Structure 1
């Protein structure tokens, strides 16, 4: 029996002679389609369906992918751990996630994968900045045109870079055009809508890149299903001192002022009393959602939610953090410094007080590129940012980071640390300062992200 496979609108259509689909062995994800009398599966099941048919000894007429072979080469010479990572991915049937620290050269590994497979490739990235960085790198490395989906351009080439947003809109139309898909910052693929990108693409080779694979909401399990399991992982400490800069993390606790302490304790008490009476334990994310849901019709729940937000603002924007920042900036006046905060308002306060170039979500793309360019060439020695430099931006080398406030996310912390870990010409150590308000919930937040 011969089985024909074709790609149709984000699915793999399975046809057997004279409608004999029901007589086929079980195939991954394939269900009968009563409209056409054939079998059908999400496109990401293509490789698994091919394997199952091969094991069953059936002849396959494969019309899913008809792709040209690309003759690519690269001047990169992979480091030992980069070679190990790529080999592990290849041993996993060219599927899976590579987890490496920021600055460890994940892009280099992906480029070598493109060379070795020699197949049309789609690279999916979270931001326009990353789209431009990838496109520029690929144009410099390969003597082929590079396509773009995003940033006002919709041009498809054998090698194309796309934002997640554009890929979500285009995947169904280009699902049979690529043999390899690279998901940069692959944890984004766990988002409910973005999952469809991977489902609609038939590409059998799938490479995920990230500094931190696991997500608090366990959506990394979906990523593993769509891209592959974690094929290789290396920790920051395994590379620090040789391939990345050696580093120190210094946690500095600061006291709230008497006025801040009074306000914080009052707000925190309002919150704690309500959740205790309501029996909300916050052992998982759904508990917080329960509080948000109650706040819609319960005035006390709304009061508790607002009190928690106010307490968080007090502890994260404590005045003595700013005083301590002043001493750090003075101590490291010859160093290149990035100051991270969780609040845009604080960024502008710090920018005005210390004359620091500021980057927030409100900063235009051109202005942001200008600031980072001047930071790169040494015109600016320090910048302050609210979250937007955590990922998706090529941040010039720095050797000191100051975290004034942030979430309990391990990923956020790892990204911020990675911003200062590129090896230094003088072999110097990088330093990350965490400023934490003492005797507040921020102590637990800082513990979680570490």
Structure 2
């Protein structure tokens, strides 16, 4: 029996004149009286047919070989990461700290495979960063899907949004796909990007793979499991800058304390009366849903938000920030907050260039370029510099407020870990309001 495989609109079409053995992900399609599977199952299907000893006519991929070379010399841990990926049949996720050279590993893999490659990234900034790097390394035109350009080349970089729209059209154009910040692939819509691509070779790159919603399990199914990881502390001092994390507790003012205790008390009392604990995300969702019809639930939710605002924007944090900025007047400093309005107040108070989600693309790039060239020695941002942006080197970070996310903390720490010319240490300050829920938040992210 001969089996014919072809690509069709994000699926593998399987035709045979006799019944087929069980194949991974394959279901019967009554519309065409053929068997189909998501394109992501292509490599598994080929392997299963080979094991079954069946003759295969494979019309899925017909890709030209690329002659690619790179001057990169991989560090030992980068070489081990690439070897672990090869050993898992060119599939899997690599988890390395920000600044550890994940891009270098992916480019080395492209050179070794020599096949058409799609790189998928979360932001336009990262798209342009990848394009610059690939053009410099391979000296060839690089395609783009995103930022107003839709041009395919043997090596193409796409945003997740553009890849979502185009994957079923270009799913048979690439033999290798790289997902940068691969944890984004766990999102409901973005999963289809990986499902519609037939590329057998798949690499995910991230600094923090696991997601609190367990959606990384879906990523493992589509890309492969985590095959290599290395911790920040394993690289600090040799490949990354040595660093210190200094947690500074500040007190609420008497007025802030009174306000915090009042609103926090309202919130806690509702939890006791309603039997909710918020120890799980499901209980928090219940509270949000109840707030639409229950005035007390709405009051509790607003009280929680107010308590968070008070503790994260404490006046003494601003005084402590002033001391840190004075202490590090000759250093390059990034200040992180969780609130846009606080960014603008501190920007005005300390004359800090500000970047928020409201900052236009041109202004953000100009600000970062001036920070890179030294015109600015410090900037302040609300979340937008956590990932997906090419941030110039700094050696001091100040976390004024944030979530309990380990990913957020790791990304912020990574912004100051690139090795320094003078071999100096990096330092991250965490400002935490004492005797409030922020202490638990800070513990969770650590």
TM bucket normalised to smaller:
over 0.9
In structure 2, what is the equivalent of residue 274 of structure 1? 270
CA distance in 1, matches of 2:326, 2:267: 38
Structure 1 residue 73 displacement after superposition: 0.6
Structure 1 residue 341 displacement after superposition: 0.3
In structure 2, what is the equivalent of residue 3 of structure 1? 3
SS in structure 2 opposite 1:102? coil
Give yes or no for the alignment of 1:368 onto 2:368. no
Match of 2:282 among 275, 280, 286: 286
Structure 1 residue 24 displacement after superposition: 1.3
In structure 2, what is the equivalent of residue 418 of structure 1? 414
Match of 1:75 among 71, 77, 84: 71
1:238-277 residue pairs with structure 2 within 5 A? Answer: 238-277=234-273
SS in structure 2 opposite 1:302? helix
Give yes or no for the alignment of 1:115 onto 2:111. yes
Match of 1:350 among 343, 346, 352: 346
- Cα offsets for 1:67-119 (capped at 9, x unmatched): 01000011111000000000000100000000000000000000001000100
Q: TM-score, normalised by structure 1?
A: 0.98
CA distance in 2, matches of 1:276, 1:53: 59
Give yes or no for the alignment of 1:149 onto 2:149. no
CA distance in 2, matches of 1:35, 1:420: 56
**RMSD, matched Cα:** 0.6
SS in structure 1 opposite 2:193? helix
SS in structure 1 opposite 2:417? coil
In structure 1, what is the equivalent of residue 14 of structure 2? 14
CA distance in 1, matches of 2:256, 2:15: 70
SS in structure 1 opposite 2:135? helix
Match of 1:326 among 306, 322, 326: 322
In structure 2, what is the equivalent of residue 38 of structure 1? 34
Match of 2:439 among 440, 443, 450: 443
SS in structure 1 opposite 2:32? coil
Match of 2:292 among 277, 292, 296: 296
CA distance in 2, matches of 1:277, 1:422: 50
Alignment gaps of 5+ in structure 1: none
Aligned residues: 446
CA distance in 2, matches of 1:32, 1:190: 27
Structure 1 residue 143 displacement after superposition: 2.2
CA distance in 1, matches of 2:226, 2:288: 34
SS in structure 2 opposite 1:32? strand
CA distance in 2, matches of 1:93, 1:138: 24
Aligned structure 1 segments of 4 or more residues deviating by more than 3 angstroms: none
In structure 2, what is the equivalent of residue 208 of structure 1? 204
Structure 1 residue 377 displacement after superposition: 1.0
- Cα offsets for 1:260-302 (capped at 9, x unmatched): 0001111111111111111112232111111111111011001
- Cα offsets for 1:338-395 (capped at 9, x unmatched): 0000001111111101101101111111111111111111111100000010001111
CA distance in 1, matches of 2:20, 2:397: 59
Alignment gaps of 5+ in structure 2: none
CA distance in 2, matches of 1:143, 1:404: 43
Match of 1:197 among 180, 193, 200: 193
1:423-434 residue pairs with structure 2 within 5 A? Answer: 423-434=419-430
CA distance in 1, matches of 2:3, 2:274: 59
SS in structure 2 opposite 1:432? strand
CA distance in 1, matches of 2:152, 2:272: 56
Q: TM-score, normalised by structure 2?
A: 0.99
In structure 1, what is the equivalent of residue 154 of structure 2? 158
SS in structure 2 opposite 1:426? coil
